[in-house]
Amino acid sequence: MARQARAVATQQQIVLRAAEVFDRVGYYGARVEEIVESARITKGALYFHFGSKDGLARHIIGEQQRLAVRSLEAIESTDASALEQMVMLCHEMARQTTDPLMRAGIRLTVELGPADALGDAPADPFLPWTEWATRLATRAVEEGDIVETVSPPMLARHLIGAVTGAQLVSRVRTWFTDLDGRVEEMWQVLLPGIVPAGRHDRILSASSARWCAEPV
Amino acid sequence: MARQARAVATQQQIVLRAAEVFDRVGYYGARVEEIVESARITKGALYFHFGSKDGLARHIIGEQQRLAVRSLEAIESTDASALEQMVMLCHEMARQTTDPLMRAGIRLTVELGPADALGDAPADPFLPWTEWATRLATRAVEEGDIVETVSPPMLARHLIGAVTGAQLVSRVRTWFTDLDGRVEEMWQVLLPGIVPAGRHDRILSASSARWCAEPV
């Protein structure tokens, strides 16, 4: 058991350090030597745990997806309205990009993309977010918080694209400092157009909905 | 003159091939040897024309910005309404990302970012687009095609972020095949919310506005 605990700790250490390197210089820029040095392990340990640089990248992509789904499930289990949960989802998706592991997972999927498919790893880093947002938008229409003329899958694709773009622009310009503000602006632009006129008094409270992960 | 023409041709050849490499593997993944080989030139020629890999990257960023501004000026000089020009701008911005030179310019700015400022190169690849979109949104409000409660700079930031995100998601999922459709969807989501109720009959024609570059 002690040996297994040590193995898990080593794996985590490799994943965290590798994520920082992949996030900074991308898959092609990342050298195994740099990861090994940063994680203070031997090359042998890296290959023992992950098989290859590709295996390590696949593992990080999987972790990113797993963490994304976990927070989506947590948001869905709150008793907030579907519209409020959509706001929470977008802010949480943006917040997660301040974590190097999440950024590395997204970047690796973007760089390795569908062209060089990574075995059984999902090729679309945005899929869980898109599916959840579609489901929430459908519920928000049913709950009367979004007008019926809005197409839930179309709105969901727009949200995920807009948050993804906000991340990218915010990273380039301010290293994520203005990211939360950009997501807030996104909702300020969108909500008056999608919330029925009779419920415009709820826009302010809906747009301030946030979900906070409990400390692990 | 003949010597100068040859020099220009060599420069262009280097820029095009380097853009393909930077686009594919990024700044850190790009090896000078690969660029030299792909452009069928000597390392000496590359260093003679651009000084360094950094100099080459800076040149590509500058070219991307110049081409972006040129099409923005061309769109602004059409006699379309400001709202139609906004639609044209977003489609043109998306279309440009199918050009490896534009993608390389954006990617290089993203990767080198403000942290490693590139001399006099602009750090924000989105600035011209954002400025133009803000000006057009202001005019569209004046022309009565956008409701007065919409903030033009906020709408502009949302548009640029959303198109940027659409690019990224579309690249990952379909290598740009569905990009134009995603931008169309973006406008389908946005227009009913920002066009005054009395002008909703114009939404269809506004959303189908396109600007086509004349063949060079």
Q: What is the pLDDT of residue B215?
A: 54
Sign of CA dihedral A5, A11, A14, A20: negative
Q: What is the pLDDT of residue B123?
A: 63
Per-residue pLDDT tens digits of chain B, which is 216 residues long: 688 888 889 999 999 999 999 998 889 989 999 999 999 999 999 999 999 999 999 999 999 989 999 999 999 999 999 999 999 999 999 999 889 999 899 889 877 764 444 454 446 788 889 999 999 999 999 999 999 999 999 999 999 999 999 988 888 778 889 999 999 999 999 999 999 999 999 999 999 999 987 654
The per-residue pLDDT for range A104-126, each reduced to its tens digit, is: 998 898 777 644 444 544 467 88
Q: At what angle do helices B2-29 and B32-39 cross, to 10 degrees?
A: 140
Q: What is the pLDDT of residue B214?
A: 62
Cα separation, A182 vs B165, whole angstroms = 13
- If you measure CA to CA, which chain B residue comes closest to A166? B161
Q: Please state the domain extents for chain A.
A: 63-207
Residues of B in contact with A185 (CB under 8 A): 154, 157-158
Q: What is the pLDDT of residue B115?
A: 44
Query: Which residue type occupies B136?
Result: L
**CA distance, residue A9 to nearest chain B CA (Å):** 30
- Residue A214: pLDDT above 80? no
Q: Considering only the beta carbons, identify the residue of A126, A154, A166 that sits closest to B188.
A: A154
Q: Which of A172, A204, A207 is most worth mutating to test chain B (most B CB atoms within 10 A of its CB)?
A: A172
- Residue A59: pLDDT above 60? yes
Q: What share of residues in chain B are helix, strand, coil (percent, to 5)?
A: 75, 0, 25
> Residue B189 and residue A192: Cβ atoms within 8 Å?
no
Query: Which residue type occupies A31?
Result: R
**Token couple for A144:** 């009367």
Q: What is the pLDDT of residue B162?
A: 96
Answer yes or no: CATH 3.30.565.10 is held by domain A63-207.
Answer: no
Over residues A36-54, the mean pLDDT reads: 94
> Residue B123 and residue A164: Cβ atoms within 8 Å?
no
Residues of B in contact with A151 (CB under 8 A): 188-189
* CATH architecture classification, B58-207: Orthogonal Bundle (1.10)
Over residues A176-193, the mean pLDDT reads: 94
Cβ contacts of residue A92 below 8 Å, gap of 6+?
A: A71, A75, A211, A213
Lowest mean pLDDT of A21-30, A38-47, B106-115, B184-193, name the range.
B106-115
**CA distance, residue B1 to nearest chain A CA (Å):** 40
Q: How many contacts, defined by CB atoms under 8 Å, are there between A and B?
A: 141
